Amino acid sequence: MSSDAQSIRITGEPTMDPQVCKFQVDQPLYPEGSVTCNDNDTARGSALLEGLMAIDGVREVLVYGNLVTVAKNSDQPWPVLGKQVGAAIRSAIGSGKPLISEELKTRQPSEEELMRKVEQVMEEEINPYVHGHGGHINVVEVKGTTLYVELSGGCQGCASAKHTLKQGIEGIVLSRVPQLTEVVDVTDHTAGVDPYYH
């Protein structure tokens, strides 16, 4: 491995899910969009994904720009697993091989496709439940690996909105559309004629 690869700075960022951690690299890895991988067949030909999926305990990897989101299925703590993730990233960059294969790039869904998938999940799974509480969740847009939503009806201004979004909705969306990494609420919770029940 080259000394350049050794000097790459990688920072771990915990997420709300203890099984998931984001790693920020000080250089772009995949500026064309996002790519998701959860098996060795998908990883084949992509040096970065091959290296990460070879780590014992790594279940799924998402690469977007200079971010690598890793999901684990082991009890190994992140400080231990994170060192292996960092070593795999540096090794892939230092190898000179394509980090993401051309074939895999063409198989990844566009933001428009992700939007359609999310809207289907909202319509079939999430909004029927939320409607029971007098609310509704609108899909605003997908940017990269982030979904932006707006809450209306009983959800707007609700004290539990943040908890519902992070503990319920985000979990469902990310499990159904694994190319996404987070759900962001862009609702103005102070607006509206009657943002929440009196």
Give the whole-angstrom CA distance, residue 58 versus residue 63: 14
DSSP 19: T
Amino acid at 188: D
Considering 25-29, 101-105, 156-160, 180-184, the range whose residues carry the highest mean pLDDT is: 25-29
> In which band, very low, low, confident or very high, does the pLDDT at 164 lie, cut at 50, 70 and 90?
low
Percent of the chain whose pLDDT exceeds 70: 85
Average pLDDT over residues 10-22: 89
Which pLDDT value is given to residue 78? 95
In angstroms, the Cα distances linking 130 to 96, 154, 171, 172 are: 49, 9, 15, 13
CA angle 15, 21, 24 (to 5 degrees): 105
pLDDT tens for each residue of 104-155: 877 777 788 889 999 999 999 888 988 877 778 889 998 877 889 988 776 6
Which pLDDT value is given to residue 156? 59
Residue 148: φ, ψ to 5°? -105, 130
Which pLDDT value is given to residue 190? 66
CATH classification (class only), 111-185: alpha beta
Which pLDDT value is given to residue 84? 97
Q: What is the dihedral of CA 94, 97, 103, 108, to 10 degrees?
A: 10
Task: Decide: helix, strand or coil at residue 17.
Answer: coil
Give the CATH number of domain 3-107; options: 3.40.50.12780, 3.40.718.10, 3.30.420.10, 3.30.1370.70.
Answer: 3.30.1370.70
Domain-by-domain residue ranges, the chain? 3-107, 111-185
> In which band, very low, low, confident or very high, does the pLDDT at 3 lie, cut at 50, 70 and 90?
very low
If one compares 100 and 143, the residue with the highest pLDDT of the two is 100
Average pLDDT over residues 169-174: 84
Which pLDDT value is given to residue 24? 95
Nearest residue to 27 (alpha-carbon basis) of 62, 67, 58: 67
